[in-house]
Structure 1
Amino acid sequence: MTATSHLRIHQFAGLTPGPRLLVTGAVHGNEVHGTQAMTEIIRQLDAGELTLLRGTLTCVPIVNPLAHQLGRREGDRNLNRNLRPPVIAQDYEDRIARVLCPLIAQHDGILDLHSFQGNGPAFAMIGPRNNTGELEPFSQEATESALAAQLGVGRIVEGWLSTYALGLKRRQQREHDGSRRASLISDPHYGVGTTEYMRSTGGWAITLECGQHLDPNGPSVARLAILRTLVFLGMLDESAVEPHRPSQPPEMLQLYDVIDREDMGDQFAREWASFDPVEKGQTIGTRASGEAVLAPSEGRIVFPNVKSQPGTEWFYLARPSDRQLG
């Protein structure tokens, strides 16, 4: 049996009932800040340096063992897109989903720890406002907002799935070669990952982007977020971590558009970092055809990815949000 044939799941069941928290890392195999943070927290719980007061804490430090072993984002495909229990498993990530989706559904909430390709500070991503719509009906806005404000990051982003749905509509209008990859990236379900799946089961979910992949501070950001989440849920004593008292409220941003790379010849106009400001009409990049890609309005660029493949996300655009964290 190899390390890619199973998921290693660490669970701590408190002797007093309470919330059921799932913490995940390395959903993308080369994003390991959460993996390192969980390794230390697991050690501290085992050593009695931390005490679980109530509830159940489940840690999965490496959610995608194949991608992790290969030192890259994906094994056969992107696990954090089109996440659902497959009827027939067609690839490695489908086999993970058969285990991961029921595990997610057993919990009340998930803290999913990631990092990103470009430079930039850590930030959190939260779900939609409470709604009864078809795309992502939701009723846990208050919990996500309050918890996100405690994580210690200076920026919080909303609007993922609605923005992704907009990009998918454009993607579906383009011809594709009929391959499984092309079918997946144009599937209406493709924007659904760990957090969206958790919300579909009635739970709450937060994605924490802990910084650039190699940021030496990333594991500390992840560890502090896990501890503060446990304190927020009453699962850990407040003395275990310094309380978060921000000097100013986090900046709230709303994603509103996603632009795909169409050709490997598409190039950015400069080296962008997440949350760099853009002015209306500013050139963000140039298509292989020579066509300029212009910012439609004033705002920020998010997740600029020089390594993106044709037909997948090249960058996102965000603008200020009026959301109140409470």
Structure 2
Amino acid sequence: MSSKQSGSSEVQVDLTAPDLSPYRQGNTGVDYYHRFDSGQAGPTVMVNALTHGNEICGAIALDRLFKSGFRPARGSLLLGFANIAAYENFDPMNPGQSRYVDEDFNRLWSADVLDGPRQSLELTRARKIRPLIDETDLLLDIHSMSGNSPAMMLAGPLNKGVDFAKAVGYPGTTIIDSGHAAGVRLRDYRDFGDPSSKRNALLVECGQHWHRQTGDMAWTVLLAFLHATKLADSAFLDAQGFSAPPSDQKVVRVTDVVTVSSDSFTFSKPFQGMERIEKAGTVIGRDGSADVTTPYDDCALVMPSHAARKGQTAVRLGRVMP
């Protein structure tokens, strides 16, 4: 365990970034992407890690799956490491600086951006990966968070996403959200965001980027995803000590997004995430000279960011669904 300094805030780095060089030569035509076919009928399933280069829990989980010798019991499994260039810049002495190289890889997934004239390292990589995404029926995109919020599944705005999240079962909290105004996430790309399509995708936030339990959660969610898609048989899951998810899952619908509008935003308390504020009108922060208050009773705070700057999301506000 080591405590490192990143800018002005001290962070804890308990996870070790694995060496991914053995996975460079894939069999898909795209570096760091591998396909395993079962020879049996079934869906094409993808598990994607390193959409952000500093979110290393997904790389740890996939490395562990590769080393286990896992092969799908049905269908086809794609495993890949997305923003490998950013990951190669990861430095545990300054772990927050390798999120991306040129631009956020997870804001590029619309046709107008992918087919447009703009160029960047991340766009070049996304365009190479895109044909694999186009053939994927079910996707899990593994992420982590800057804050100490409990792990959560971001299911998107559609009922099919919520149903899929419930079938996976881990983590115990599912968020219904509509994505980012700054650009389309991989989870919402094309058919994944079409309510009439059977293709489906989930984005999991496994916990704080570099806490040990975040790596454990990434592995648990990966096993749960393979269980829900029926690619993993019971013998493999039993050997990994996998247990069925709890039945008391919580679903939170995001209703409001607090965007920083000034050069000075502060929370009233050191919120970490999923706090439930009892009364409407409770002050939770100040944006410049303006109070930020809860719009209704029993308001849940989703993924508060204490480092948000002007134009960025400070926190999402949500209702816990019955």
- The TM-score range, normalised by the shorter chain, is 0.7 to 0.9
Question: Secondary structure, in 3 states, of the residue corresponding to 1:160?
Answer: coil
Question: CA shift at 1:151, angstroms?
Answer: 3.3
Match of residue 185, structure 2, among 193, 200, 225: 193
- Out of 60, 67, 83, the residue aligned to residue 86 of structure 2 is 67
Task: Tell me the secondary structure at the aligned position of residue 230 of structure 1.
Answer: helix
Unpaired runs of at least 5, structure 2: 1-20, 25-29, 91-97
The residue aligned with 2:296 is 297
Give me the whole-angstrom Cα distance separating, in 2, the residues matched to 1:261 and 1:86: 31
Structure 2 counterpart of 1:266: 265
Q: Match for 1:296: what amino acid?
A: P
- 245 and 193 in structure 1: CA distance in 2 versus 1, 3 angstrom threshold: closer
In structure 1, runs of 5+ residues without a counterpart are 131-139, 169-184
The structure where strand makes up a greater share of residues is: 2
Q: Closer, same or farther in 2 for the Cα pair 1:282/1:70, shift >3 Å?
A: farther
Residue 245 and residue 200 in structure 1: after superposition, are their counterparts in 2 closer, same or farther (change >3 A)?
A: closer
Q: TM-score, normalised by structure 2?
A: 0.78
Answer yes or no: is the 8 Å Cα contact 1:86–1:94 preserved in 2.
no
The answer on whether the counterparts of 2:280 and 2:295 sit within 8 Å (CA) in structure 1 is yes
Q: How far has the Cα of 1:147 moved from its partner?
A: 4.7
* Bigger mean CA offset, 192-201 vs 206-215: 192-201
Q: What residue number does 2:42 align with? A: 18
Map of 2:109 onto structure 1: 83
The total of aligned residue pairs comes to: 275
Partner residue, 2:16: none
**Residues 193-249 of structure 1: per-residue CA shift (max 9 Å, x gap):** 111005147310111111111220122211222222222222111232234151x42
Q: How many angstroms does 1:7 deviate by?
A: 4.2
* Aligned positions of 1:21-36 closer than 5 A: 21-36=45-60
RMSD: 2.2
In structure 1, what is the equivalent of residue 64 of structure 2? 40
SS in 2 for 1:274: coil
Q: Do the aligned residues in 2 keep the contact of 1:86 with 1:97 (CA within 8 Å)?
A: no
Cα gap change, 1:55 to 1:251, in 2 (>3 Å): same
Q: Distance in 2 between matches of 1:11 and 1:219?
A: 23
Write out per-residue CA displacement over residues 273-292 of structure 1, whole angstroms, 9 at most, x where no aligned residue. Answer: 1111223112221123x221
- The worse-fitting range, judged by mean Cα deviation, of 85-94 and 295-304 is 85-94
Residue 73 (structure 2) aligns with:
53
Which residue number in structure 1 is paired with residue 220 of structure 2?
A: 224
Structure with more contact order per residue of length (Cα contacts < 8 Å, sep ≥ 6): 1
The partner residue of 2:166 within 148, 154, 172 is 148
Matched, 1:244 2:244: yes
Any conservation in 1 of the 2:33–2:79 contact (CA below 8 Å)?
A: yes
With structure 1 as the length reference, what TM-score do the two structures score? 0.77
Q: Is 2:211 the counterpart of 1:215? A: yes
Paired AA for residue 195 in structure 1: R
